[in-house]
Amino acid sequence: MGNRILRIDNVRKTVNYLKKNGLAGTFYAAAERVQEERRADYRYTAPDAETLAKQREETADYPYLFSIVVPAYETKETYLREMIASVQSQSYVRWELLIMDASMGSDVERTVRQIIHDTDDMRIRYSRLSENRGIAENTNAGIAAAAGEYIALLDHDDFITPDALYNMAVCVHQSRRAGGSPILLYSDEDKFDEGAQTYVFPNKKREFNLDLILSNNYICHFMAVETGLMKRLRLRADYDGAQDYDLVLRVVDSLWPDSALVPETARICHIPKVLYHWRSHRDSTALNTGSKTYAYEAGRRALADFCAKRGFQAEVGHSLHLGFYRIAYEPDLLGVRRDVGMVGGRILNRKGCLLAGGYDEAGRCLYEGLPARFTGGSTHLAALRQDCAAADIRCMRLREELQPLFSEITGLPYREKILTVREGREKREIRTADVSGLTCDEAGYRKLSVALGEAVRREGYLVVWDPGITIRL
């Protein structure tokens, strides 16, 4: 990871971060990044020929056709050939590759037609567009022509693993056999450092998490959407640069009828495996996040549009990190979101490290021990709102209709108190449940918190952990 491109990009990002967040914020971000890179021990290994052959045999009778849409514009020949080769090497053979070329020159067309001729692969479909109308409209031309059951999106300078479509086909097949109907599929990804010719920075993503997607487009690559829905939604040119984020948000909206308390997220399937290699070069956003700052503003607008469609009284703003957002609900989250039953924050110990807060279903504290100024690495998960199994009862609130659950589990009446907390040089007040009548150790508080979270979720509500709410013991 010590190649020249990475070093230059790190310097560029540090300077930009310093301008935006000041010396202290930059120091903590740099310290955390150094720790993250020291801990990194990642190697991508492609499936061997025997494994791919077994995958091909296993899925030989699967009927699902995947349409991969690639908008191309003056694509470097090396990148174009590697992208096409990655699709042709798929162990799952039912695919079509639609290359929508808006280039001014003829290099892309010449390369693609040569590949089709040399390989006699008619699954590759080339179209020359009459004009360059931007990434969304260029992609829409491919969406309109797609014949598959699912449409997958692939950037012209990236490439996929040989088992990418196999894993997606298996996911669809297993889900349908169990009575499901997947509408969106996504996978993990890594970055391909072209300078060092190595794979770095694996992004091992979460299962679908509503409030996390309302903070950041963590889904991104590799994504496939059911064709009927994709053709209906299409990409919106007004959100070029964040057209994929806008699409995901509108898919979520389509799964959330007004009659439902929460969206039907079971139809969104995560494949926990790296299936996409995001090429890192000087002009890409993979390493140079400042190269397309307009994209982050487009993402903010897409999120604001989603909130407006859902009837949320809210303002959407940028966080300290590009591509990450913070929704300010008015008057507050519980007052706006009828799907949320419990909102909790983080509890810091005397050393300023995370002691308690959000919990998973096993009762483990999310990001336990993390210093308060750290964000959880390059994905900044520890700084983002997200759904969880439970929130610590010492720093949480319940919506009114669920407050009797608090009494049932703790033996105390539900009351709230106001705490004054300091954030830097400023003070603000937060409301939280009053647990002064309890005498518990840490294990006792955690047990009660998990039990209350389970009760809230049984009622059909979400539990949201918000690291923007912080108290110190």
Same domain for 449 and 405? yes
Does 14 map to a domain? no
Q: What is the pLDDT of residues 188-230, one digit of tens each?
A: 999 999 888 999 999 999 999 999 999 999 998 899 999 999 9
Closest CA to 16 of 225, 290, 248, 245: 290
Q: What is the pLDDT of residues 347-403, one digit of tens each?
A: 999 999 999 999 999 999 999 999 999 999 889 999 999 999 999 999 999 999 999
pLDDT at 99 over 50: yes
- Measure the CA–CA gap between 264 and 246, rounded to whole angstroms: 18
DSSP string of 108-134, one letter each residue:
HHHHHHHHHHHHT-TTEEEEE-SS---
Across all residues in the chain, what is the average pLDDT?
A: 91
Residues 262-276, mean pLDDT to the nearest whole number: 97
- Of residues 415 and 37, more confidently modeled: 415
Does 253 map to a domain? yes
Does 325 map to a domain? no
Same domain for 112 and 211? yes
Exposed/middle/buried for 133, CB within 10 Å: 0-12, 13-18, 19+? Answer: middle
pLDDT for position 32: 55
CB of 88 closer than 8 Å to CB of 118: no
Task: Tell me the HSE value of 225 on the side-chain side, using a 13 A CA sphere.
Answer: 27
Same domain for 292 and 385? no
Does 126 map to a domain? yes
Same domain for 293 and 335? no
Same domain for 393 and 272? no
Partners of 99 in the beta sheet? 70, 126
pLDDT at 334 over 60: yes
Same domain for 243 and 173? yes
pLDDT band at 2 (very low <50, low <70, confident <90, very high): very low
431-436-439-443 Cα dihedral, nearest 10 degrees: 0
Q: What is the pLDDT of residues 107-118, one digit of tens each?
A: 999 999 999 999
- Measure the CA–CA gap between 446 and 95, rounded to whole angstroms: 49
Q: What is the pLDDT of residues 138-182, one digit of tens each?
A: 999 999 999 999 999 999 999 999 999 999 999 999 999 999 999
**To the nearest whole percent, how much of the chain has pLDDT over 90?**
83
Which residues constitute the domain of residue 423? 331-472
Same domain for 263 and 357? no
Same domain for 252 and 383? no
438-440-446-451 Cα dihedral, nearest 10 degrees: -50
Same domain for 270 and 221? yes
Residues 36-51, mean pLDDT to the nearest whole number: 82
pLDDT at 38 over 80: no
pLDDT band at 5 (very low <50, low <70, confident <90, very high): very low
pLDDT for position 222: 93
For residue 45, what are the contacts with CB-CB under 8 A and spacing of at least 6? none
What's the per-residue H, E or C state across 238-283? HHCCCHHHHHHHHHHHHCCCCCCCCCCHHHEEEEEEEEEEEEECCC
- Measure the CA–CA gap between 245 and 211, rounded to whole angstroms: 14
Q: How many domains are there within the chain? A: 2
Does 217 map to a domain? yes
CATH of the domain at 163: 3.90.550.10
